[in-house]
A and B are shown apart, each in its own frame.
Chain A
């Protein structure tokens, strides 16, 4: 119930294309869903986050779509650029139960070809 399942494991997109990464969860108590971006040799960095009171959040070329009934959320990267090549992690947490663990998906390695 604490898992967050992420797909695909890897993704190759041409420059200018749309990258889509999907995540699914079981725990209906999750109420915070961030996406982190990690470049090789670096720590993850927060990219964008959403709470379940909205169905979509957009920041520049990055959009999170959230489907509460399906317990799924996704990251869309519009006009993908070679500089977006990185590993992306979805995550989820809840404040219920006294522990506020951030549970991460296994990651998606995105490669954007020039």
Chain B
């Protein structure tokens, strides 16, 4: 049963600390998405990659957020330095293209104190 995995599932950290979230997309999928979910803003696309190349990161605060795909089996989202307003659930999703099914991971619930 292929699925997207994300680590850690929960993270509590203090303001100013670096946070790294990891995602393993479904084997064979060539597109990876990072979303942030909050009560106020809902689901927002932060960035997405196709064949490991970044296609759109316009939804991501560039000064503190960075997203990479070191290889086809790993995507990372880093926040440095973290701020309380970054508290949210971060989802990774993978698929073949935006207009095909996106398979979401279970999310990383981040709390920045």
> Whole-angstrom distance from the CB of B8 to the nearest CB of chain A?
15
Q: How far is the CA of A106 from the CA of B4 in the complex (A)?
A: 23
With A32-B99, A93-B99, A100-B98 in contact, do A44 and B104 touch (Cβ < 8 Å)?
yes
Question: Contact flags (1/0) for B69-94 with A, using CB distance below 8 Å?
Answer: 00000000000000000000001010
Say whether chain A's binding surface is mostly helix, strand, loop, or mixed.
loop
Asked whether, in the complex, the Cβ of A100 is within 8 Å of the Cβ of B102, the reply is: no
Q: Which residue of A lies closest to B43 (CB)?
A: A104
State the total of A-B contacts with C-beta under 8 angstroms: 52
Q: How far is the CA of A79 from the CA of B61 in the complex (A)?
A: 43
Interface residue count on the B side (C-beta < 8 Å): 23
Asked whether, in the complex, the Cβ of B43 is within 8 Å of the Cβ of A89, the reply is: yes
Q: Counting CB contacts under 8 A, is A18 at the interface?
A: no
The interface residues of chain B lying within 8 Å CB-to-CB of A46 are: 101-102
Q: Counting CB contacts under 8 A, is A95 at the interface?
A: yes
The interface residues of chain A lying within 8 Å CB-to-CB of B107 are: 42-43
Q: Counting CB contacts under 8 A, is B105 at the interface?
A: yes
**A34-B101, A41-B106 given; 20 more Cβ-contact pairs under 8 Å:** A31-B99, A32-B99, A42-B106, A43-B106, A44-B43, A44-B91, A44-B104, A89-B42, A93-B98, A93-B99, A99-B58, A100-B97, A100-B99, A101-B45, A101-B56, A101-B98, A102-B45, A102-B102, A104-B42, A107-B43
